[in-house]
Copies of this chain bind each other. A is one copy, B any other.
């Protein structure tokens, strides 16, 4: 895949929602926005991470906020360009590439919108290899790349630039602005050189999204097992199959926080799984015992169709299979664990990984 056409968007959105581990936004909304942008501006060139030149100016763009809000207050196309242009002006630099900050149903496709609008190529990579809720939680932070100067823009035309002493301060100030802007905003941050991008990003994410999305679609067409195909491709494992019997969800401090209870089915009958989330799934417990946790991926998929169920989309009665898959190995370094391990989120447990 060397360019993204309208025909690719369904698969990318489907696959990105899986890597989004419950967050990163609704794939339906991501696909709508990207379809419209590609229809208006034409296909987007996709550049492998290894081909980005040292001096490239790479700008990630993303939605920030609570996915529960994004499904009701849709981002505007203008907002995407506004965030990128505001930062480019502040930096006084000519942009050469757009990138993805994270993988997710919206956040893998917002960069497609930006690239189409600005007529720039998109880098086939992202900053996490998954989605995480806070903006300092990207691999570039581990490489000392600063989140700021960053821009933030809302659908009304308000915009701002933040330039902070560290990435945690960027998160704090941007989160407050996001809440004021109505709990969802467009951001552009971690502007970096091509050399920095090659070192710090996760390569091939958009291709992987397309591949996952296509595998799920094909497995369905062949009456196969879409969930098994995802597990196989990601090198993960099935944790639990069950029915959603309770969802406690509140949108607080700008996040969708809560937990979902699943009552076991099939081989898991008689057991219960609890998924704890902050935009993304953070910990999966079976009968009170953690089975997987950040930084590894916990994905909740429709048991039959293999489609990802986002945390804001969890509903009573859904039949789902929960799978775990290994995160980029850099997330398992002590610095990675400090940044996005279970203790950062207030769970007093060591990370529960995915056995190889």
Chain A residues close to B by CB (< 8 Å): 86, 90, 156-165, 169, 172-173, 176-177, 179-181
A164's closest neighbor in chain B, by CB?
Answer: B158
Interchain CB contact (< 8 A) of A176 among B156, B163, B176: B176
Contact, CB under 8 Å: B156 / A165: yes
A165's closest neighbor in chain B, by CB?
Answer: B157
Complex CA–CA separation, A101 to B173 (angstroms): 24
Contact, CB under 8 Å: B176 / A172: no
Interchain CB contact (< 8 A) of A173 among B86, B165, B172, B180: B180
16 A-B residue pairs with CB within 8 Å: A86-B163, A90-B161, A157-B165, A158-B162, A158-B163, A158-B164, A159-B162, A159-B163, A160-B162, A160-B163, A160-B164, A160-B173, A173-B177, A173-B180, A176-B177, A177-B177
Complex CA–CA separation, A156 to B176 (angstroms): 18
Q: Determine the chain B residues whose CB is within 8 A of the CB of A172 once the complex forms.
A: 180
A90's closest neighbor in chain B, by CB?
Answer: B90
- The minimal Cβ–Cβ distance linking A31 to chain B, given in whole angstroms, is 29
Complex CA–CA separation, A308 to B158 (angstroms): 38
- The minimal Cβ–Cβ distance linking A216 to chain B, given in whole angstroms, is 41
Contact, CB under 8 Å: A169 / B161: no
Q: Determine the chain B residues whose CB is within 8 A of the CB of A162 once the complex forms.
A: 158-160
Q: Determine the chain B residues whose CB is within 8 A of the CB of A164 once the complex forms.
A: 157-160
A161's closest neighbor in chain B, by CB?
Answer: B161
Complex CA–CA separation, A161 to B179 (angstroms): 17
Q: Determine the chain B residues whose CB is within 8 A of the CB of A156 once the complex forms.
A: 165, 169
Complex CA–CA separation, A179 to B164 (angstroms): 15
- The minimal Cβ–Cβ distance linking A296 to chain B, given in whole angstroms, is 31
Q: Determine the chain B residues whose CB is within 8 A of the CB of A181 once the complex forms.
A: 173
Q: Determine the chain B residues whose CB is within 8 A of the CB of A90 once the complex forms.
A: 90, 161
- The minimal Cβ–Cβ distance linking A58 to chain B, given in whole angstroms, is 22
Q: Determine the chain B residues whose CB is within 8 A of the CB of A158 once the complex forms.
A: 162-165, 169, 173
Complex CA–CA separation, A158 to B150 (angstroms): 12
- The minimal Cβ–Cβ distance linking A254 to chain B, given in whole angstroms, is 11
Complex CA–CA separation, A172 to B177 (angstroms): 9
- Most chain B beta-carbon neighbours within 10 Å: one of A162, A173, A180, A181: A173
A177's closest neighbor in chain B, by CB?
Answer: B173
Q: Determine the chain B residues whose CB is within 8 A of the CB of A163 once the complex forms.
A: 86, 158-160
Q: Determine the chain B residues whose CB is within 8 A of the CB of A176 once the complex forms.
A: 176-177, 179-180
In the complex, given contacts A158-B169, A176-B180, what are 9 additional A-B residue pairs having Cβ atoms less than 8 angstroms apart? A86-B163, A90-B161, A156-B165, A157-B164, A158-B163, A159-B163, A159-B164, A173-B180, A176-B176
- The minimal Cβ–Cβ distance linking A182 to chain B, given in whole angstroms, is 11
A172's closest neighbor in chain B, by CB?
Answer: B180
- The minimal Cβ–Cβ distance linking A200 to chain B, given in whole angstroms, is 23
Complex CA–CA separation, A156 to B161 (angstroms): 17
Complex CA–CA separation, A137 to B166 (angstroms): 33
